[in-house]
Homo-oligomer: A and B are copies of this chain.
Amino acid sequence: MSNSPKIRNMEEFASVSGLSRPTVSKYFNDPDSVRASTRARIEQSLEEYDYTPNIYAMNQNRKLTKNVGILVPYLADPFFAEIARNVEQRCIDAGFRPTLYSSHGDPNLEVEILESLRSLKPAGVLMAPLGRSSIRGEIEKFCNYVPTVLFDSNIPDLGFAFVGSNNTQFSMLMAEYLCRTGEPPCFFEMQFPSNPNANKRRQGYLDAMERLGHEPKVIKIEGDGWAFEEIGRLGAHKVFETGGFPSSTVLCSNDRLAIGVLTACWEKGVRVGIDSNASIRVAGQDDHPLARYTCPPLTTIAQEYEAISSYAVEVLAKAVEGEKKPHESKLFEGKLIMRDSA
């Protein structure tokens, strides 16, 4: 960082530090692998001279790089952006070098990214798969080469482990709350949800309703892709046109659908909320970053962002170190966030 002559390579840097290159090399691979006094000397030189090892030369012969790929299905969804940020930070803290990718909702792109990822020789990959549309065979092939931890959305038995939310519990928790505080909810979801979590959520709803002795009512709406708000909005309009919701309480499969439902309600002049002059209650699931700011603010189930990302990275680190163990599925419970929409 100074005005000293520029260091060209590790040889030179080792020389000005009064050490040999292999020792310096060892330091850069793992600072703790050299004697404390040596380490101090290197780090002092590092302050004095401006040198960074050439990462291309480093990774060329390394058995294992420190690269980690983070792949999410749709980065323009603030939920994934937020969890990606979390995961990214923890990777850095764990000494990895994360790179962020998004499949943009396209299964082919998902596979393409994995392929280009392979050429980066990553130590591991954290992947939230697209879900239903994911090309399982290709992902499986990838998992055979690179330690991969799935998160958010599970593909059964794939990868080293899965870390996500207990989506069944999400819906059960919310359904119970809604039953306790008003009319039992109907369940609002996409007919062919792109994400397998949706199935768990439906099941949680069905279980809760049965246990509480209410008749479950599931509304399945059309729509494809990741424009959930629009799908929810159009779906709700269709429901309004065909007799309305079967209950004055609507539990949506996720927050983004719920946001669309709120918009439809507004457009239809239907008041949403828990106060006296509202005629319908709407709840979501995920605690989307903007759920707090809808009108009315959306009652929802909060994911344990931090616990999930921290555990996912923890497990990945183990996978990278070559630990062998049976496929693990770790699920975190959600928390009820009560707001004014339900």
Contact = CB atoms under 8 A, between A and B. Distances in A.
A57 B121 CA distance: 12
Contact of A263 (B54, B60, B289, B297): B297
Contacts of A56: 55-57, 59-60, 121
A108 interface: no
A119 B59 CA distance: 13
Contact of A81 (B81, B260, B265): B81
B290 A290 contact: yes
A337 interface: no
Interface residues of A, number: 41
A293 B259 contact: yes
Per assembly, the copies of the chain total: 2
Contacts of A259: 290, 293
A229 B291 CA distance: 11
A160 to B, nearest CB: 24
A84 interface: yes
A52 interface: yes
Contact of A52 (B76, B102, B119): B119
A33 interface: no
A39 interface: no
Nearest to A261: B293
B295 A295 contact: yes
A95 to B, nearest CB: 14
Report the 6 A-B pairs with minimum CB-CB distance, sorted nearest first. Answer: A266-B295, A56-B60, A76-B81, A295-B295, A56-B59, A263-B293
